[in-house]
Amino acid sequence: QLQLQESGPGLVKPSETLSLTCTVSGGSISSSTYYWAWIRQPPGKGLEWIGSMFYGGSTYYNPSLKGRVTISVDTSKNHFSLRLSSVTAADTAMYYCARHPSPPSSGWSYFDYWGQGTLVTVSS
Amino acid sequence: QSVLTQPPSVSGAPGQRVTISCTGSSPNIGAGYDVHWYQQLPGTAPKLLIYGNNNRPSGVPDRFSGSKSGTSASLAITGLQAEDEADYYCQSYDSSLSGSVFGGGTKLTVL
């Protein structure tokens, strides 16, 4: 059974960089079929797609966050990472990692497996 | 402001049928892109409920069904049960944003 687990600091100071890792178990992140994504949910609010990546290096970012977001992969550790720079209180959210079973740009892509999420608070 | 519009809340009594709408526009649902639905129980991660407009992943009861027409989609839940009380989100692809977009979510209350 595929499992995804987010990890990283729960508190980040304003203007600093948020860094999270998603470790995949029960499957290979290097699969040619799947893409991997980050999604966030501010407290009491809805879901927002942050970006996605393929193990080969292709990345896709939400234009509203572009310029601040970097998603990368470490196939040797079977994990992928999120970096969000210049954070503000508006970046306080539950951050989820998830899997796409098809390319994000395919028009029919969805998220079939999710991690349990990790809460990141931006505060001094 | 979400790209896809959902009613903030719906409610129904046990055993009843409820529907949740998801309204988009020409760059997303109206362009023919698939709509997917997620169920988020309190304090948990979202779970895929419907994919490709009307397909259920293994393990999802057939009480849940999806449909799409024009620039809108709907999730229907029949035989409502207390355990269905959750937040429900629709999701699609938006060509103007070149990425996935979600609805704002609908809270289902079982009376």
CB B93 to CB A96 under 8 A? no
pLDDT band at residue A118, thresholds of 50, 70 and 90?
very high
Distances (CA, A) of A16 to A12, A65, A72, A82: 7, 15, 18, 14
Q: Tell me the average pLDDT of chain A.
A: 95
CB A114 to CB B45 under 8 A? yes
pLDDT band at residue A106, thresholds of 50, 70 and 90?
confident
Both tokens of A4, joined, read 């995804």
CA B42/CA A39 separation, integer angstroms: 17
pLDDT band at residue B1, thresholds of 50, 70 and 90?
confident
Asked whether A102 and A35 are in contact (CB, 8 A), the reply is: yes
Q: Is the pLDDT of residue B69 over 80?
A: yes
* Residues B96-108, mean pLDDT to the nearest whole number: 95
Reported as a single tens digit per residue, the pLDDT across A85-96 is: 999 999 999 999
The residues in B 46-65 lying below 8 A from A, measured between CB atoms, are 46-48, 51-52, 57
- What was the pLDDT predicted at A104? 83
pLDDT band at residue A103, thresholds of 50, 70 and 90?
confident
Reported as a single tens digit per residue, the pLDDT across A62-75 is: 999 978 999 999 99
In terms of DSSP bridges, do strands B64-69 and B9-12 run parallel, antiparallel, or are they unpaired? unpaired
- What was the pLDDT predicted at A20? 98
Asked whether B38 and B88 are in contact (CB, 8 A), the reply is: yes
Q: Is the pLDDT of residue A32 over 90?
A: no
Residue B33 in contact with partner chain A when CB distance is under 8 A: yes
The backbone torsions φ and ψ at residue A21, rounded to the nearest 5 degrees and listed phi first, read: -125, 145
Position of tokens 């698939």?
A: B34
Among A54-58, A94-98, A113-117, B42-46, the minimum mean pLDDT is found in: A54-58
Size of interface A-B (CB pairs under 8 A): 72
- What was the pLDDT predicted at A57? 85
* Residues B99-108, mean pLDDT to the nearest whole number: 97
Q: Is the pLDDT of residue A107 over 90?
A: no
- What was the pLDDT predicted at B45? 98
- CB contacts of A61 in chain B (<8 Å) are 99
Both tokens of A30, joined, read 């290097």
The residues in B 86-105 lying below 8 A from A, measured between CB atoms, are 89, 91, 93, 95, 97-105
CA B27/CA B14 separation, integer angstroms: 37
